Amino acid sequence: MKFLVFLLQFIFIYGFFFLGQLLRELFSIPLPGSIIGFMLMFAALSLKLFPLRFVESTATLLLSFLPLYFIPATVGVIEYIDVFAGKGFFLIAVVIISTLLTMAASGLTSQYLGQRIEARKEQE
Amino acid sequence: MMETILLALFFIVFTFAAYFLMNLLYIRFHYSFLMPALTATLIIVLFLLMTDTAYDTYMIGGQWIDSLLGPAVVALAIPLYKQRKLLLDNLVPVISGILVGVVIGMSTGLALAKLFGFSRILLLSLLPKSITTPVAMEITEQLGGIPSLAAVFVMIAGFSGIIIGPAFMKMLHIETPIGVGIGFGASAHGIGTAKALEYGAQEASVSSVAMSLSAVFGSFLAPVFVWIFYL
């Protein structure tokens, strides 16, 4: 019984992914099909087209193993190991520097705006 | 035929086993560098190298696990929906920070890599490095980059974010839950979100919102940056 619930919910979630892929193909949308499916799922939940419990338990289970699903694709780096040899080392430096700039810019922006809104609320 | 099925089964079981064993190790010791996404991948890569097995052969089984990526991205909408109150209560600071993060992440990554003279295909693989792996791979694939390399760059971004990030944010006086959560989620995606949990539940929730929305904004903006940088 539990397995049947899981299977039905999984097919339901997969349907959103399939729909995302289909829309992408049909209208040549330059977005990943999974992201279109993600937005449709969020919209459907927000519009209360079906209750959260229709998808909640299977989504939670599916997400608890998320890193497992991208292992096969990551293993594919085996075919590109030479990219990181020699000059490729600088690619790692580029990623680290850019990551820290991203962290500083996003964190400071959110913190500053959050504090300003808080201060304004207190004044009122 | 029989051989193909056996190979597929073997690599599926092998990948599951590597993941679950490494996950146990990670739960036991909890060092970042023991995260199963890293360790299980290394074990499989080493196995393939030592047995002289082609990646295509591994993927006879691997593709079945790979096919769960799409539905898993759709499932990310559920935690985001559950955090909609947090999102709505802090709409301006959260959305602004994430947008700034995506723009700075993509533009500085491309600009620096271009400065060093790296090829177009490497730039396209590096572009979505701040975005959660399943979505980053799809973005790269659509633009003509290499998804496996994108996954590795995403991992490097994640690890540099959680190793250098804590001291770096302290230095910059980023200390509110929203600042810390957005900082980790927008730059180091899922790995950053796991780190944010060590700060508190609110930091982790903000970070997971940042991770999901970075994936959405990044999907929209990646083609725009490719166009801006004449790739």
> Which pLDDT tens digit goes with each residue over B54-104?
999 999 999 999 999 999 999 999 999 999 998 999 999 999 999 999 999
Q: Do B153 and B215 fall into the same domain?
A: yes
Q: Please give, rounded to a whole number of angstroms, the shortest distance from the CA of B187 to a CA of chain A.
A: 5
Query: Has residue B72 been placed in a domain?
Result: no
Q: Are residues B162 and B134 in the same domain?
A: yes
B84 in the same domain as B43: no
Chain A, residues 45-74, CB within 8 A of chain B, namely 45-46, 52, 55-56, 58-60, 62-63, 65-74
- Please check whether residues B96 and B25 belong to one and the same domain: no
pLDDT band at A26 (very low <50, low <70, confident <90, very high): very high
User: Based on the domain organization, do B117 and B194 belong to the same domain?
Assistant: yes
Same domain, B55 and B157: no
Q: What's the angle, vertex CA B203, arms to CA B202 and CA B205, rounded to 5?
A: 65
The domain boundary residue, chosen from B67, B91, B119: B67
pLDDT-derived band at A47, boundaries 50, 70, 90: very high
What is the C-alpha separation between A67 and B76, in angstroms, rounded? 13
ipTM associated with this complex: 0.92
Do residue B60 and residue B84 come from a single domain?
no
CB atoms within 10 A of CB B58: 25
In a shared domain, residues B192 and B132? yes
* Gap from A75 CA to chain B (nearest CA, Å): 6
| Amino acid identity at B2 | M
Q: What is the pLDDT of residue B197?
A: 86
**φ/ψ bin of B131: left (φ > 0), alpha (ψ from -120 to 50), beta (otherwise):** beta
Residues 6+ apart with CB under 8 A from B40: A67, A68, A71, B15, B18, B19, B21, B22, B23
Looking at the 3D structure of chain B, how many domains does it have? 2
Distance from CA of B1 to the nearest CA of A (A): 22
Residues B108 and B196 in one domain: yes
Say yes or no: B86 and B59 in one domain: no
Whether residue B117 lies inside any domain: the answer is yes
Domain that holds residue B113: 77-228
- Using the 3D structure, point to which of B67, B97, B112 is the last residue of a domain: B67
Residue with tokens 């729909």: A19
Does residue A95 sit at the B interface (CB-CB below 8 Å)?
Answer: yes
Contact at 8 Å (CB) between A39 and A94?
no
B31 Rama sector, left if φ>0, alpha if ψ -120 to 50, beta otherwise: beta
- CA torsion through residues A42, A45, A46, A47, sign: positive
Helix (H) or strand (E) holding B25: helix B2-29
Average per-residue pLDDT for chain B: 93
B21 belongs to a structural domain? yes
CA distances, A10 to each of A3, A51, B125 (Å): 10, 15, 30
DSSP B31-92: -GGG-HHHHHHHHHHHHHHHTT--HHHHHHHHHHHHTTHHHHHHHTHHHHHHTHHHHHHTHH
Task: Give A83's pLDDT tier (boundaries 50, 70, 90).
Answer: confident
Do B115 and B93 fall into the same domain? yes
Nearest residue in chain B measured CA to CA from A46: B81
In a domain, B12, yes or no: yes
Would you write out chain B's pLDDT as a tens digit for each of its 231 residues? 788 999 999 999 999 999 999 999 999 988 878 888 899 999 999 999 999 999 999 999 999 999 999 999 999 999 999 999 989 999 999 999 999 999 999 999 999 999 999 999 999 999 999 999 999 999 999 999 999 999 999 999 999 999 999 999 999 999 999 999 999 999 999 889 988 988 998 999 999 999 999 999 999 999 999 999 877
Q: CB A35 to CB B165 under 8 A?
A: no
Same domain, B59 and B83: no
